[in-house]
Amino acid sequence: MSVIFKRQSIRRFTDEKVSDELIENLLKAGMQAPSAGNQQAWEFIVVSDEKDKLEISKMHQFAKPAEKASHLIITLGNLDECKFDMMIEQDLGACNENILLQATHEGLGAVWLGFYPIEDRSLKLKEYLNIPDNCIPFSVICVGYPAHESNVKLRYDESKVHFDRY
């Protein structure tokens, strides 16, 4: 089975820090994603400072996993770099998923925290991290060593599949 079937959101982490090399592997995976017209208009902020992680964990009610993660990878879309700006959210979705899958491959745990397009969440992140106006603060990915087992359930549901016509 590929890592796709092993990936699960991990929200609790051990105290062990993830190496710079592994973080770079996650960024490489993110930047390997497909994008509209190959525009690759993503940028990243890597956060490891304890106070910053704590502050980000308080930005919304489901952001708590950020506090104890080893690193946070904030994914951004730079609108000035876009050829097709209406596609940037889809590009970033693919980029985020690549990071989550690479984390699974490396034996790490990760969870995607949703920020964009919820305005008050995005604004808090933007202000706190000095993100410029031309960049969409898309999401926060928490990364660390898992402090709990995965329990992946297969979701294949043939009732959702249509052949030839709906």
Ligand X SMILES: Cc1cc2nc3c(=O)[nH]c(=O)nc-3n(C[C@H](O)[C@H](O)[C@H](O)COP(=O)(O)O)c2cc1C
Nearer to ligand X, 36 or 114 (CB): 114
Asked if residue 146 binds ligand X (CB under 6 A), the reply is no
x/- letters, 40..69, toward ligand X (CB under 6 A): ----------------------xx-x----
Which residues are 73's β-sheet partners?
A: 46, 141
Nearer to ligand X, 37 or 126 (CB): 126
Residue whose CB is nearest to ligand X in the complex, by number: 114
Asked if residue 111 binds ligand X (CB under 6 A), the reply is yes
Q: Given the structure tokens 């929200």, which residue do they identify? A: 11
Nearer to ligand X, 22 or 111 (CB): 111
SS (H, E, C) 21-55: HHHHHHHHHHHCCCCHHHCCCEEEEEECCHHHHHH
| Length of the chain in terms of residues written | 166
Q: Which amino acid is at 102?
A: Q
Query: What angle separates helix 119-128 from helix 50-57, to the nearest 10 degrees?
Result: 160
Only one of the segments 30-38, 49-57, 77-85, 108-116 lies at the binding site for ligand X (rule: CB under 6 A); that segment is: 108-116
**What is the spatial distance between Cα 73 and Cα 143, in angstroms, rounded to a whole number?**
8
Nearer to ligand X, 23 or 111 (CB): 111
**What is the spatial distance between Cα 132 and Cα 149, in angstroms, rounded to a whole number?**
38
Asked if residue 5 binds ligand X (CB under 6 A), the reply is no
User: Shortest approach of ligand X to residue 112 CB, angstroms?
Assistant: 4
Binding site for ligand X (CB under 6 A): 8-9, 11, 62-63, 65, 111-114
